[in-house]
Amino acid sequence: MDDPNAALTDAQTVDLAVMALDAAARVAEAGEAPSGVLRCEAAWFRAVEIPRVRGAVERVLLGRHPDLGLDFLLQVGALDALLPEVKALVGFGDGEWRHKDVWKHTRQVVQQAVPRVEVRWAALLHDIGKVKTRRIAPNGEVHFFGHAEVGASMFDRMQRRIPLFTGEEALSRDVRFLILHHLRASAYDGSWTESAVRRFAKEIGPGLCDLLDLSRADITTKRPEKKKRGLDAISELARRVREVQELDARIPPLPKGLGTAIAERFGIPPSPRLGDLMKVLKDRVDGGDLEAQRDNDYYLEYLRAEGLVSPPNA
């Protein structure tokens, strides 16, 4: 029997692929799937201009029903053709290994995430590294050690294959950052010291809000008490970060007169070098390696112990 697709022109196949992508976006926006939509060949999707691909996928991600839109992209073959890293999650980690299906988890994370483009892209891609990192322990426990780092590297390769974020370098950096760090907030427990909270806030920087929102969305347990514990821990971390930032904004990190004490103890006159040493100490306080507002001797001893200065008669 002749292949009915053989009579289609290149332009017609591209039109069909665009129609399928648009249909997925409408499904995500309206929550209803059309009937009789054609599953397209991979080459048809790959011939669609990348900005149109990204626009359609973002409409899916930002829709009210992104889980349904993602399933539709799977049904018509778009995930296979355009985002094989995501398609690989379908059926992966299923009950065979007593671990939840990563595709179902991913759809739920996207659905639960706040509808900001950075967060929803990261929600879609945050677990792609699990496929390459799954390990089964002798007792049957499933582990994905290093999957965040592997996922960030996969994102880089995905970008080279299909540069979805061309012209949106800031968005690309934000999404990669969230993939790389998506486990950081969930590692929090109440035992973190003030210095540890300060270090976390410093390392995460302006991506903190997006990261916390992604971490909340990443809690997909069906056990209400476990979900509440996870959400409460993230809220506590957010509160403690705010408190540290407010404290640091009110109180200078270093005591008054420290510069003079350094100059006298180590024979360093007012100079760029003295300014550099003060900056080192401030950065170490900001990073959580040193405590703020201690007595001068605390910081002088640190400079000596780290070999950053030596006594004038040494």
| Boundaries of domain holding 52 | 1-82
The verdict on residue 311 lying in a domain is no
135 three-class SS = strand
Percent share of the chain, pLDDT over 90? 74
Query: Does residue 133 sit in the same domain as residue 1?
Result: no
Q: Rounded CA gap, 183 and 252, in Å?
A: 31
pLDDT beyond 80 at 290 = yes
Same domain, yes or no, for 115 and 219? Answer: yes
**pLDDT tens track for 242-285:** 999 988 888 788 999 999 999 999 999 889 999 999 999 998 88
| First and final C-alpha spacing in the chain | 92
Q: What is the pLDDT of residues 161-172, one digit of tens each?
A: 999 999 999 999
Domain assignment of residue 164, yes or no: yes
Look at residue 310 and tell me if it is in a domain.
no
As a whole number of angstroms, the distance between CA 2 and CA 6 comes to 8
From 206, 227, 250, the end of a domain falls on 250
Look at residue 7 and tell me whether its pLDDT is greater than 90: no
pLDDT at 47 over 60: yes
**Better pLDDT: 140 or 53:** 53
- Cβ atoms of 173 and 122 closer than 8 Å: no
Read off the tokens for 169.
């370098």
Mean pLDDT of 184-206: 93
pLDDT at 243: 94
d(CA 74, CA 287): 44
pLDDT of amino acid 6: 59
Domain stop point among 230, 250, 270 = 250
88 part of a folded domain: no
Rounded mean pLDDT, 90-95: 71
Question: What pLDDT is recorded for position 252?
Answer: 85
pLDDT confidence band for 292 (50 / 70 / 90): confident
pLDDT in tens, 117-166: 999 999 999 999 999 999 888 887 888 999 999 999 999 999 999 999 99
Q: Decide which of 223 and 38 is more confident.
A: 223
Closest Cα to residue 44, out of 71, 66, 12?
A: 12
The values of phi and psi at residue 4, to 5°, are -65, -25
For residue 297, tell me if it sits in a domain.
yes
Based on the fold, state whether residues 226 and 181 are members of the same structural domain: yes
153 & 216 share domain: yes
Position 314 pLDDT exceeds 80: no
Please indicate, yes or no, whether residues 130 and 77 belong to a single structural domain of this protein.
no
The per-residue pLDDT for 96 is 43
Residue 5, pLDDT above cutoff 90: no
Task: State mean pLDDT over 216-225.
Answer: 95
Q: Do 246 and 262 lie in a common domain?
A: no
For residue 87, being part of any structural domain is answered with no
What pLDDT does residue 108 have? 96
Exposure string of 3-38, with b = 16+ CB inside 10 Å and e = fewer, is eeeeeeeeeebbebbbebbebbbbbbbeeebeeebe
- Looking at the fold, whether 110 and 220 belong to one and the same domain comes out as yes
Nearest to 299 by CA among 249, 253, 241: 253
> How many separate domains does the chain show?
3
- Across all residues in the chain, what is the average pLDDT? 91
Please tell me whether residues 58 and 138 are part of one structural domain: no
Question: Please, which pLDDT band fits residue 312 given cuts at 50, 70 and 90?
Answer: low
Q: What is the pTM of this model?
A: 0.80
Domain contains 313: no
246 and 110 share one domain? yes
Q: Is residue 15 part of a domain?
A: yes
Does 105 lie in the same domain as 236? yes
Give the pLDDT score at 190.
92
Looking at the predicted structure, is the pLDDT value of residue 100 above 80? no
Confidence (pLDDT) at 95:
46
Examine the domain organization and report whether 143 and 2 are in the same domain.
no
Quick one: pLDDT at residue 209? 97
Same domain assignment for residues 103 and 174: yes
**Could you say which of 232, 250, 268 is where a domain stops?**
250
